[in-house]
Amino acid sequence: AQTVTQSQPEMSVQEAETVTLSCTYDTSESDYYLFWYKQPPSRQMILVIRQEAYKQQNATENRFSVNFQKAAKSFSLKISDSQLGDAAMYFCAYRSVAGGTSYGKLTFGQGTILTVHP
């Protein structure tokens, strides 16, 4: 079974600065998807960025980018030019491409609370 680990329970950053959130995972599969979701105090789960394991190029979405290291099974999220609205809990998630009884299952990490200081 796959596991996802976020080793930073809390992180903080100054507005306009850059912060990196860490995520590692364990899997024996060679193809899969990885995601970062954001959960602000409103509790809505918002997709931040996605990465297909077969792609070597790191995904980027505006101020958000990932550092995907497949061999190291590491998937960190970098937030540039941090804004007050980035304050939230961030979850890393793994999705297998396998079918059967695991079809579509997202396995989440424990989450990292990000605080943005003005």
53 contributes a contact to another protein by CB under 8 A? no
47 contributes a contact to another protein by CB under 8 A? yes
Span interacting with another protein, options 10-18, 22-30, 72-80, 94-102, rule CB under 8 A: 94-102
Span interacting with another protein, options 14-22, 42-50, 62-70, 72-80, rule CB under 8 A: 42-50
DSSP state of 59: P
Q: According to CB under 8 A, which one of 35, 36, 68, 94 is a site residue for another protein?
A: 35
DSSP state of 84: G
Q: How far is the C-alpha of 114 from the C-alpha of 110, rounded, in Å?
A: 13
Span interacting with another protein, options 16-24, 54-62, 80-88, 106-114, rule CB under 8 A: 106-114
Q: Which runs of E-coded beta strand occur in 1-118?
A: 3-5, 10-14, 19-21, 24-26, 32-39, 46-52, 60-61, 64-69, 74-79, 88-96, 106-108, 112-117
Name the minimum Å distance from CB 100 to another protein: 8
Q: What's the chain's Rg over C-alpha atoms?
A: 14
| Tokens describing residue 116 | 């943005």
Residues of this chain that bind another protein (CB under 8 A): 33, 35, 37, 39, 42-47, 50, 89, 91, 95, 97, 101-108, 110-111
